[in-house]
Every structure is written in structure tokens, then in C-alpha cells.
Amino acid sequence: MPIIDVHNHYYPPEYIKALEQGPSAVRITYDQDKNPCLHYPGDYNVAVPGHRDIDYREQVLRDAGVDTQVITLTTPGTHIEDAATAVRLAKLVNDCFARVVADKKGRFAALATLPLCDPAASEVELRRAMQQLKMPGAMLFSNVNGVALSDQRFWKLYETANELGAVLHIHPTNPVGVEAMLDYWLMPLVGFLMDTTLAAASLVFAGVPERFPRIRWVLGHLGGAIPYLAERLDRGYEAFPDCRKNISRLPSSYLKEFYFDTVNFDPRALGLAVSFAGADHILAGSDYPHQIGSIPKMLGSLKAMRVPEEDRKKIMGGNAKALLGI
């Protein structure tokens, strides 16, 4: 069974060049090792060789024994730009991703990036990415400039995604209230996970998965705290009429239909997610090449899980192969 890493990030060099040339809300500097640094409101990322050199990355995968990576863009995302720039950059990134997939013949798949600050343009780009570029879906950020993914301005996008049977992978970004998370790297260590949790819970209570049942949802970082908190969401459904008005069954029953990537390298946490959603809904992920990500830790934690060998094979690649058509 192949090993497929569904959570990792790639900045096409053409994208970094476009940011440098502007106009853009992102500012580019270079560190002492000549790595581009992408500065955006409230944060920055250092684009190490694994982020931007696809041949270098391919050798890393070969050495690690990973067969395929599903590449996605990461923060800051195109949604922080003005609408016209966001559309232009999203198209650029998706065209670059499609070339990588074609050139590397099986080593990479890709999920599209969307200009989420413009929901109507996002519909058009999702359709182009899936129908012309043959991508299985897109990555969404957990909020869009402070607007929840459950907001009805995105529902036409979900209609298109539902029609196409899209995979939508939710990845965190700067949470609302980030001002309380500026010390000790609390934003990525805690805030990212809570924003994913908030996005998933809000989508369910708003009735999005019930209304658009053909969308396949994936949550990054093991769903934040969803496997741990799902019982509390069910109690909310039982206690509060507002939590029942848009859905016809317990929140956990929808969330168990989501997929969860394994960017949490504690085998005990992985075991909780398996027990919550089932081994068929867990996908291997490394968060490579972020400083906090690790392909060896991904592989080590998956090998340490106490699950039947057949389930381990599904988690390491079989589930992703079926979900994404790899």
C-alpha cells in the first residue's frame, strides 16, 4: 500500500516572484540563508528549500519512502489580497500545481487554492481547477479575513463543490482574537487548532454538511479538538434549541463523516481520532516542510498506533487513494 501525505505545503517559485513584483499584501525579505520570508499581517513564514524547490522535495520523499504528497498552498493564502490580486494569484498557483502534478507523474497530487475573499470568483476557480486541471478539490482556510466558513456568502461556493463532489480540506489561519496569542508561538500552537475546531463546529451547526452532502470535508491537525469535544457539541444539540434549528441529527454524526489528517504525532491522540471517526476516515499528514512539521514523526507515530495492520495501511495511504482518486 502506498504512503500518501495529504497535509504539506508548497510555494511555487512563480508565486513568490509574483508577490515580490506586487502589488501584494505580502512583503518578501530574505534571511541569512537566502530563504524568502513571506511577511503578512500578524505573522511570517520562512520558505525553506522544501517549500519552493520541487526537485529537492522529491528527493526528500524518495529518501523517506513517501510515495505521494498532496500539495497545497499555506498561509498567508490569496484571500488577504484585494479581490483582483487574489484571483490572479490563485490562478497562478493552481496552474503551477497542475504542472508539478503532470511533470512528476504520480509523486504529487494537488488541492486548489481559491480567492476566498471573492466567493463568486472562488466558484469559477474551483470549477476550473476540478474540471480543467483535474484536481479533486480545494483547501479552505478556517476563516476568511475574520468571516466564518459557515457564513452564507460562501454557500454558492458550496453548491458548486457539492455538484462536483469536491474534497474541501480546512486548514487554519490567523484566528479571530489573535492578539491574545502573540507570545510563545501560541497562535500556531493553540490558536490554529482552536480555529479549525470552531470552523468545523460552526459548519455543522449552520447545516452546511446536511445541505451539501456530496462535499467530502477534511480537517487539518487531527481536527483540532473535534474528537475530544464532540460529545460536548452533542450535549449542546440536546440542551439548546439554536443548536437544533439547522440540523436533524447529532453534530457528532456529521463530524464522524469528516476526514482527519494525522498532523498530531501522539499515537494516543491518533487512537482517539480512530475511535471517534473510524480508521477509514484518517489520512496521513506531515505538515512538511514547516518547522513544526515532520515526515519522520508522521511515519513514526503511524507505526506506533495500536491498530490492526489493515487499518494502518488504510491510514498511511489507502484512504487518501480512494478519497482523492490518486
pLDDT at 182: 85
Q: Residue 113: CA atoms inside 13 Å, Cβ hemisphere, count?
A: 31
Helix (H) / strand (E) element for 320: namely helix 319-324
pLDDT at 220: 98
Whole-angstrom distance, CA of residue 311 vs CA of residue 28: 43
pLDDT at 177: 86
Averaged pLDDT, 34-45: 89
Q: Which CATH architecture has domain 4-324?
A: Alpha-Beta Barrel (3.20)
Proportion of the chain above pLDDT 70, given as a percent: 100
For residue range 171-206, list pLDDT tens digits in order. 999 898 888 888 998 988 999 999 999 999 999 999
Yes or no: say if 269 and 226 are a contact pair by the CB < 8 Å rule.
no
Yes or no: say if 161 and 155 are a contact pair by the CB < 8 Å rule.
no
pLDDT at 44: 87
Cβ count near 121 (within 10 Å): 19
Give φ, ψ of 29 to 5 degrees: -125, 180
Domain ranges of the chain: 4-324
For residue range 73-109, list pLDDT tens digits in order. 999 999 999 999 999 999 999 999 999 999 999 999 9
Size of the chain, expressed as the number of residues it contains:
326
Yes or no: say if 117 and 153 are a contact pair by the CB < 8 Å rule.
no
For residue range 291-316, list pLDDT tens digits in order. 999 999 999 999 999 999 999 999 99
Instruction: State whether residue 289 is helix, strand or coil.
Output: coil
Q: Given CA atoms 271, 276, 281, 286 in this order, what sign does their dihedral have?
A: negative
Mean pLDDT computed over every residue of the chain: 96
Report residue 253 as a C-alpha cell.
454524526
DSSP character for 260?
A: E
Residue 264 has pLDDT above 80, yes or no: yes
pLDDT at 261: 98
